[in-house]
Amino acid sequence: MDSLKIWVYREGDEPFFHNGAFREIRSIEGLFLGGMSTNGFGLPFFSFASHPDEAHTFFIPASVEKMADHLNERQIVHLVTDYISMLAQRYPYWNRTNGADHFMLSCHDSATKITNQNPETFQNFTRFLCNTNVSESFRPTRDISIPEYVVELNNSKRVDPKHDGQPPENRPTLAFFASDAHDGDIGKLLVKHWMNKDKEIQVHEYLPKGLHSQYFESIMGHSKFCLCPSGSKVMSSRVLEAIYEGLCSGSHFRY
């Protein structure tokens, strides 16, 4: 069976298109956009179409993160909307499916507003988003959630593997938790009842300075479980961090 073929539209100029930003927990947008625009993934389950007629799906190479450096939210919405309208006039692909085989990816909050400007036009358009709050226009039946994650790059601008975790039997810490403002009542209870109470349960009232500090990576790599309460905030890099460091994540979300 042939792999999924994706066409990446060539239109659009940097910095707003074809080149994403690597910024803290939203840096996965830059990694994905860079790979899509340079045919740089090399994954077996999809390939890049050499001509749009061969494509099964179409990627909109817009960087909302880069746009947010220069434009306000309303201008971002108009720019992406105008870009897609231009593609629809230039090519037959959007119109033949009403955008059902088109998608974009962004971790910036403004990306959730793009379909609100003209919901009938974009009702079939798929967005890969870090912000999966339905109150901010995420559509579970159409949109796809992606994890927030800090992508580390080495000097050659390639992803730098940093995983140095130990096997479970060599991890002395049973559970790890570092609170922030979005952890809700459970986070407060964890701090109240467990902070400085048990050596095997490392509970911190605040995140260590610098999310990817050497201390943070070390304690994650020597813990068996990561406690991940998120209150009403469903957008968090904590679960993916735990998986990457080889921990079991215990999650709780309040909807």
The more confidently predicted of residues 6 and 121 is 6
pLDDT of 157 reads 45
- DSSP conformation letters of 116-154: GSSTTTTTT-EEEES---GGGT--TTT-EE-------B-
Q: Could you tell me which residues are beta bridge partners of residue 103?
A: 59, 126
- Which of the listed ranges 29-38, 59-68, 219-228, 239-248 does the model predict with the highest average pLDDT? 59-68
Look-up of token digits 């971002």 = 76
Query: Token pair of 122, please?
Result: 């974009």
197/189 Cα distance (integer angstroms):
13
Q: What is the DSSP letter of 162?
A: -
Contacts of 192 (CB under 8 A, 6+ apart): none
Please tell me the predicted confidence (pLDDT) of residue 160. Answer: 45
Considering only residues 164 and 157, tell me which one the structure prediction assigns the higher pLDDT.
164
Q: Report whether 37 contacts 18 (CB < 8 A).
A: yes
pLDDT class of 21 with cuts at 50, 70, 90: confident
The model's pTM is 0.70
**CB 128 within 8 Å of CB 103:** yes
Please tell me the distance from the alpha carbon of residue 125 to that of residue 240, in angstroms, as a whole number.
26
Tokens 């605040």 found at? 206
pLDDT of 182 > 90? The answer is: no
Report the C-alpha gap between 103 and 159 in whole angstroms: 24
pLDDT at 181 over 60: no
What is 185-252 written as a DSSP string? Answer: HHHHHHHHHHTTT-TTEEEESSPPSSTT-HHHHHHHHTEEEEEEE-TT----SHHHHHHHTTPEEEEE
Residue 236 near residue 242 (C-beta atoms within 8 A): no
**Mean of the per-residue pLDDT values for the chain?**
78
Mean pLDDT throughout 7-22? 88
Q: How does pLDDT run across 108-121, given as a tens digit for each residue?
A: 888 888 777 778 88
pLDDT at position 5: 92
